[in-house]
Amino acid sequence: MTDVSHSLDHLDDAELVRLAKTDQRAFGVIYERYIDRIYNYIYYRTGNKYDAEDLTSRVFQRAMRHISGYEDRGVPFSAWLYRIAHNLVVNYHRDRKRRQIVPIEDLVITAKSSEAPEFVTQQREEHEELLQAIRNLPEDRQQMLILKYIERMSNAEIGEIMGRSEGAIKSLYHRTLIALRAELNRIQKGQKRRSDVLKHLGFDRS
Amino acid sequence: MFRKLKRREHKEELATILDQHAAAVIMGGEPADADLIDKYGQTHPELESLMGLTRRLYYTLVPTEPSEEFVEDLRTRLAQIQERPAWRRRPWPSLGYRSTKLPQLVGWALSLAALVLVIFRFTGSLILLFTFLAGRKRRLASA
C-alpha cells in the first residue's frame, strides 16, 4: 500500500466512506479492513471456499459501485457491507438450490497433532455434524452465530447489523441453541438409523 | 396470567445465563460450568446441555482467512475497475456460474437429443402400426 493509504488507516469508517465516494484509495483501505470479515461470513454461509471467493468479489464490486449513494443512517458501515453479503448469499442459495457441505479437509481442527488419530477423526465428525446442523437453521440464526462466534461481536453490535435490539439478540441466541440441539438430535437419529440398516445388511463398520 | 409471567421470567433468566456464559467462552475465559449448574441446574435442567453446545460452537466456528493470492487478485481487479470510465464498469461474470454453464449446456443438449429420439421412435412405431393394419386389411380384402 502507498503512504497515502497508510495515512488513511487511522480514519474511522464514517470518514473513510465519505472519502471513498471520490477517492479510490479510501475504498482500498475499506477493502483491507473488511476483506477477511466478509470472506469469513460468506465462507460459513456457503460452505466452500470457491463460492466464498466468488461472492466476496461480488460484495466488494457492488459496494464500490454503490458507495457514492451510501447514506449514513446511524448504523455502522459494516452493517451495509454485511447486508450486501447476506443478500448475495440468499440469492446464491435460491438460484443454485443447494447447500454445500464444508469439505472436511477445509475445516480448521483445533486438535493437537500429538492427539490420537481416532480422537482427531471423531472431532472432525463432530465439527461436521455441528456445521450441518447450523446450515439447516433459518438464515437469521446462522447469521447471528457467525457474527457472534467468528466476528466476536457483542449483542449490541449484532443487533445493529441485523436491525434488532440487544435483548432480541439474547433471546435469539437462546432459541438458536434449543433449535440447534433439536437439529443435532435429528441428525444423530438419522445416522443411527442408517448404521442400524447397514448393520442389518451385514456392513458393520465397527 | 401470573403463571405466564413466571414462565417468561424463567425463560429470560435462562437466556441471560446462556448469554453471559457464551460471552465468557468467546472472550477466552473459562467460566466454571459446574458452579453455574450447581446454582441454576435445578431450575433449568437443560442448562448443562446448552452450555456444552456453546463450547462446541466455540471450537467449531473458528475464523478462516482468504488466500493471499485471492486478496491480491481482487485488490488488483477492483483497482482496474476504478480506473475505467463509469460506462465501462460492468460486473464480471460469476466464477460459480461459469463453472456450471458448460455442464448445464451439455445437459440441455442431451435432453433435447433424447426428446427428439423419443419422438422419432414414437412416430416410427405409429407408421409401423398403420402399415401393419393397412397390410392386414389388404390381405383380408384379397382373401
Reported ipTM: the value is 0.75
The answer to whether residue B38 neighbours chain A at the CB level (below 8 Å) is no
**Chain B CA closest to residue A61:** B78
CA dist., res. A164 & res. A148, Å (int): 14
How distant is the Cα of B113 from the closest Cα of chain A, in angstroms? 25
Let me know if domain A136-206 sits in CATH 3.30.200.20: no
Q: Which residue has the higher pLDDT, A108 or B73?
A: B73
The mean pLDDT value for B66-82 works out to 90
Percent of chain B whose predicted confidence (pLDDT) is above 70: 84
Q: Do the chains contact at B92 and A178, CB–CB below 8 Å?
A: no
pLDDT at position B97 over 50: no
pLDDT-based confidence at residue B99 (cuts at 50, 70, 90):
low
| A64 contacts on B by Cβ (under 8 Å) | 78, 81-82
Residue A45 and residue A146 in contact, taking contact as beta carbons nearer than 8 Å: yes
What fold characterizes domain A1-100?
Rna Polymerase Sigma Factor; Chain: A (1.10.1740)
Question: What pLDDT does residue B132 have?
Answer: 92
User: What residue ranges of chain A are covered by domains with CATH 1.10.10.10?
Assistant: 136-206
- For all residues of chain B together, what is the average pLDDT? 83
C-alpha cell at A142: 446462522
Q: What is the pLDDT of residues B111-134, one digit of tens each?
A: 999 999 999 999 999 999 999 999
In sign, the C-alpha dihedral spanning A62, A65, A66, A72 is: positive
Question: What pLDDT does residue A115 have?
Answer: 56
Question: What pLDDT does residue B1 have?
Answer: 64
Give Rg (Cα) of chain A.
21
Question: Measured between CB atoms, which of A43, A170, A180 is closest to B53?
Answer: A180
In sign, the C-alpha dihedral spanning B138, B140, B141, B143 is: positive
CA dist., res. A102 & res. A113, Å (int): 21
CA dist., res. A56 & res. A38, Å (int): 7
**Chain B CA closest to residue A34:** B71
In sign, the C-alpha dihedral spanning A149, A155, A157, A158 is: positive
The answer to whether residue A180 neighbours chain B at the CB level (below 8 Å) is yes
User: Which of A132-146, A186-200, B5-19, B71-85 is predicted most confidently?
Assistant: A132-146
Q: Which residue has the higher pLDDT, B30 or A115?
A: B30
Burial of B131 (0-12, 13-18, 19+ CB in 10 A): exposed
- Per-residue pLDDT tens digits of chain A, which is 206 residues long: 455 556 777 788 888 888 888 888 888 899 999 999 999 999 998 888 899 999 999 999 999 988 888 888 878 888 899 999 999 998 988 887 654 444 444 545 444 445 566 666 777 788 888 998 998 899 889 999 999 999 899 999 999 888 899 999 999 999 999 999 999 999 888 877 887 888 777 766 54
Q: Do the chains contact at A177 and B81, CB–CB below 8 Å?
A: no
Q: Using the structure block, give the residue that is written with the C-alpha cell 470457491.
A: A50
Give Rg (Cα) of chain B.
35
Residue type, B86: A
Residue B95 and residue A187 in contact, taking contact as beta carbons nearer than 8 Å: no
**Cα dihedral angle (A43, B104, A91, A157), rounded to 10 degrees?**
0
